Amino acid sequence: MKKSAIISSHLILWVIFTLMVIAQSKLFLEAKPDAPFGSHFAYVVFLEMVMGMIFFYLTFFTLPWARKNPVNSFIIGAILLLLLLLFAFPAIKIGAWQVVSSVVPHLFMIFMAFVFRCLSDSEKRQTFNT
């Protein structure tokens, strides 16, 4: 796959994720205007984007290592779970919906990193075999 196609697919993913985070944050803050950081919409979106990048690239770059043996997979899974819990912890004080809204976008990014890595590895195998 050409570098331009890889870069374009990453950019499209981040545009979609950004729109999803903006929509979700707007819905949440409209439903609960007294929520912490309710008056700091840009800060909330920025934090969600940074966390999304952490989940995506941590998964994307460590997946080949994790595939080498089950212990590595367990380690990466445990790290991702701990990060999810850490990032969702402040929302526990507010309510269940906030926890779900904090975790779902990041689970989506972990899934997308897995898809991107599988596609990337498949492309490399095809190029190598040709």
What is the reported pLDDT for 80? Answer: 93
pLDDT at 82: 93
Proportion of the chain above pLDDT 90, given as a percent: 35
More confident residue, 108 or 25: 108
How far CA 73 is from CA of 20, 58, 99, 128, in Å, comes to: 28, 13, 25, 25
C-alpha distances in angstroms, 89 versus 43, 46, 74, 96? 18, 18, 22, 11
**pLDDT tens figures, 75-126:** 999 999 999 888 877 767 776 767 777 788 889 999 999 999 988 888 777 7
User: In terms of residue numbers, what domain contains 66?
Assistant: 3-129
Q: Is the dihedral of CA 13, 120, 50, 105 positive or negative?
A: positive
**Domains identified in the chain, total number:** 1
Given pLDDT bands bounded at 50, 70 and 90, which one contains residue 42?
confident
pTM above 0.85, yes or no: no
